[in-house]
Structure 1
Amino acid sequence: MSSLSRGTLVVSCQAGSGNPFFSPAAMALMAQAAEAGGAGAIRANGPDDIAAIRAVTSLPIIGLHKLGDPAGVFITPTYESAVDLVAAGADLIALDGTLRPRPDGQRLDQQIRRIHNELGAPVLADVDTLDAGLAARAAGADLVATTLSGYTNGRTPTEPDVDLVRQLATKLDCPIVAEGRIRTPEHVRAVCEAGAHAVVVGNAITNPMDITARLAGAIPAP
């Protein structure tokens, strides 16, 4: 059920409320630029951004909806939060696939089953550990991504979790998507060599604020 071809670069076109690019129109422009540069798919947040992006590209869109408390399950936390994403043009639904309790009290397999049966969309589970990846696949996820590695235990590293990519690729019988802190061609090659089916890059491409801050921070103090 995956619409992501092996070797796809997915560009995450998302901007927070404090970012000058926080608007559907800006994200549509980001998606167009990403496609022109060779992206094979787009990851986007919320029905408004997804609809704007769908209007300017035919690339596959991984849709998610960030709702609720960012400290908990807030990436497409319920079935209801997925409905508008598909209506807006998302081809795949990304959701939190960690072992944390879901805000509506439903099990992950129940949410995935409804998305499959009622929306006809494949599901990408964003996980943080090997155990979560195994559980998400058992719950019916069509793809598993390393998106949340390093973001659920309060100790966020600076490098991609290549080891988790390798572990998931070894243990699971579904496509593995590498995501999280991938900033350089060397990072991309490393996760692909570890078994990633596709690679998601966000801040290093679509967040000028983050890029500027990292480069400015490298300038020696006078």
Structure 2
Amino acid sequence: MAIAHSSLLSSLQGGLIISCQAPPDSPLHVPEIIAAMAEAAVNQGAVGIRVDSPAHVRAVRQRLPKIPLIGLWKQVSADSDVYITPQFHHAEAIAQAGADIIALDATERPRPQGDTLAEIVQRVQEKLEIPMMADIDSLEAARVAHQLGIEIIGTTLYGYTAATAEQSPPAWELLSDLVRDCPGFIICEGGISSPEMAQRAIALGANAVVVGTAITGIDMLVQRYRSAILGQ
């Protein structure tokens, strides 16, 4: 299995991963449309896809059987701010849908009632045997994730937690710290809104870059343009 993991990470090295997602109330939030976005991205050179929910993971996998696929499942709960694959059964569903990598919140925030991060990681390692991506917001969280055996570290949640609310992505300083102090496969994700930013992330030492809204976020982008035109 370690060889398979190594081969998977090698296929992502130095490349662009596209996050193909849409708000739940968007007409784009349809498995077939998400899969079409993913295929368009791969046709233009994306080395991997990141996608939310079992249904969307399954649709992308059917359309792109060989492309590396990072899956997650966003679940909002009343008792925790953790929403990216918060419990083991969410991770299991994502794996069963066809993901190659499971992305999960690995910040130090309390999780919803149930599994701890350490318990989830152990169960994924023992039962699912596929790599994980730790979505973190700090160097401390990254160190914990690495100690637990999570292979991939992503800056995904920098600027989106209470501890980093005053910071704005991209997480350039955090990325540099991770490259210097945290072994593992480092992905820069969050706030990458131009080719130049993606290039900078690789130059700083990221193994790969995830871009989402700037490419696939039609709903949010239209809102921004409209607000600018109207002076709002």
TM-score by length of 2: 0.89
Give 1:218 shift.
Answer: 4.5
Alignment correspondent of 1:211: 221
Could you say what the CA RMSD is over the residues aligned between the two structures, in angstroms?
1.8
Matches within 5 A, 1:41-56: 41-56=48-63
Q: Secondary structure at the match of 2:63?
A: coil
Alignment correspondent of 2:131: 122
Alignment correspondent of 2:175: 165
Q: 1:38 aligns with which of 23, 32, 45?
A: 45
Give 1:114 shift.
Answer: 0.9
TM-score by length of 1: 0.93
Give 1:107 shift.
Answer: 2.8
**Segment drifting more, 38-47 vs 12-21:** 12-21
Matches within 5 A, 1:41-120: 41-57=48-64, 58-69=66-77, 72-120=81-129
Higher helix share: 2
Label 1:52 to 1:127 Cα distance change in 2 as closer, same or farther (>3 A).
Answer: same
Give 1:159 shift.
Answer: 4.0
Counterpart amino acid of 2:174?
L
| C-alpha distance in 1 between matches for 2:198 and 2:178 | 17
Identical-pair percentage: 38
**Segment drifting more, 62-71 vs 143-152:** 62-71
Give 1:18 shift.
Answer: 2.1
Alignment correspondent of 1:7: 14
Q: Secondary structure at the match of 2:57?
A: helix
Q: Is the Cα–Cα contact under 8 Å of residues 109 and 140 in structure 1 kept in the other structure?
A: no
| C-alpha distance in 2 between matches for 1:199 and 1:175 | 11
